[in-house]
Amino acid sequence: MSKKTKVAVIGVGGISEVHIAGYKANPDVELYAFCDINEKRLKEKGARHGVTRLYTDEATMLKECPEIEAVSVCTWNAAHAPCSIMALNAGKHVLCEKPMALNTQEANAMKEAADKNGKLLMIGFMRRFSDNMEVLKDFVNAGDFGEIYYAKARYIRRNGAPGGWFGNKEFSGGGPLIDLGVHVIDMVRYIMGKPKPVSVYGATYDKLGNRPGIKSLLAGYTASDADSKTDIFNVEDMATALVRFDNGAILHIEVSFSMNIPKEEENVEIYGSKSGAVLYPDLKMYTQQNDYLTNVSLAQNPKMGFEYMFVKETAHFIKCITEGMECRNPAEDGVVLMQILDAVYESARTGHEVIIK
């Protein structure tokens, strides 16, 4: 009988549920301990999932449970770096939710802690594990797209400010750019083969805020701490940017929590010298064959389920630890994403292009 990997979850708010479900679905994992500053929620989650080792302080948990081998960090963004660094220094492997940190400086400190301690730091870019991304990556790697030179990434909501700490810059680090943009930016860069960003021109806006007076529309997502003291809104409600990569490719980004649009839209489009593709709602590819313009779709649509991606992501994390599998979402990818996000915010602040060195 193989030894089970003992895993703890730090931060048992909303996003932790899909991490927990992923670990519970894995026969090679023992869900060992929970940690959260909200004691009431901590006890409720412990009872729900049969976890009895409950802590309100991660340092105490790491000291009293040295047998823990890995942790998922599912806190608000401001705690990603300190919690991850503490766990890495305690000799634990870490799966940290996106965004990696509040800024590039914190992200670099996290990577340095992982390198120093010889432990895995994996970043929660869970959309890399969706079937449509894996299928598209197969086509790209096979050369069917030729040179990918342009991409568009949109994640826009009409009335989708989550509330709670998501709108408080002290805890979140920003608005839809750091919350939603991180997903679609990473997807494009991953599809392209992870080129290096070299320059960014961006703008952010706070025109609609979190639409507190709206009666007819409900936000699609609510933070676990929506009624806490963190429930203010001082971040951007919309951001847009152009990112240039070292291979000459351009990415155009649009993200929003609040925007006067017909409906919410999430999409990634890529354009290559041989083919183009749209990922949502179903993967479709556009090319030419025998001198005819053709549209290509799969006989069966790939899976896109939110929970399904986390099952695959957490399983990959455990295999990287136990089998030495190459990590799909290494720390350096999180650092590059933070460089892009920092550059967008700096460009928005200054009104000028930002060069990434």
Co-location of 89 and 203 in the same domain = no
Co-location of 118 and 76 in the same domain = yes
Judge whether residue 262 has pLDDT over 60.
Answer: yes
CB–CB of 12/42 below 8 Å?
A: yes
Q: What mean pLDDT is predicted for residues 161-167? A: 91
Percent of the chain with pLDDT over 90: 88
Judge whether residue 161 has pLDDT over 60.
Answer: yes
Q: What is the CATH number of the domain that holds 65?
A: 3.40.50.720
pLDDT of residue 1: 46
Co-location of 99 and 161 in the same domain = no
> Sign of the C-alpha dihedral, residues 330, 334, 337, 343?
negative
What pLDDT digit, counting tens, does each position of 194-217 carry? 999 999 999 999 999 998 878 765
What pTM was estimated for this model as a whole? 0.95
Co-location of 85 and 136 in the same domain = no
- 296 occurs within a structural domain: yes
Among 230, 99, 96, 242, residue whose Cα is nearest residue 176: 99
CB–CB of 245/147 below 8 Å?
A: no
Q: Helix, strand or coil for residue 152?
A: strand
What pLDDT digit, counting tens, does each position of 54-76 carry? 999 999 999 999 999 999 999 99
- 118 occurs within a structural domain: yes
- 352 occurs within a structural domain: no
Helices (H), ranges, 118-259: 131-141, 169-172, 176, 182-192
- 279 occurs within a structural domain: yes
Co-location of 256 and 219 in the same domain = yes
- 339 occurs within a structural domain: no
What pLDDT digit, counting tens, does each position of 328-348 carry? 999 999 999 999 999 999 999
Co-location of 111 and 146 in the same domain = no
pLDDT of residue 218: 58
Which pair of structure tokens corresponds to residue 98? 């996106």
- 355 occurs within a structural domain: no
Among 191, 166, 310, residue whose Cα is nearest residue 251: 191
Tally of domains within the chain:
2
- 341 occurs within a structural domain: no
- 351 occurs within a structural domain: no
pLDDT of residue 326: 98
Co-location of 153 and 220 in the same domain = yes
Co-location of 85 and 228 in the same domain = no
pLDDT of residue 163: 87
The residue range of the domain holding 207 is 128-304
Co-location of 161 and 20 in the same domain = no
When the pLDDT of each residue in the chain is averaged and rounded to a whole number, the result is 94
Co-location of 115 and 133 in the same domain = no
d(CA 239, CA 207): 11
Percent of the chain with pLDDT over 70: 95
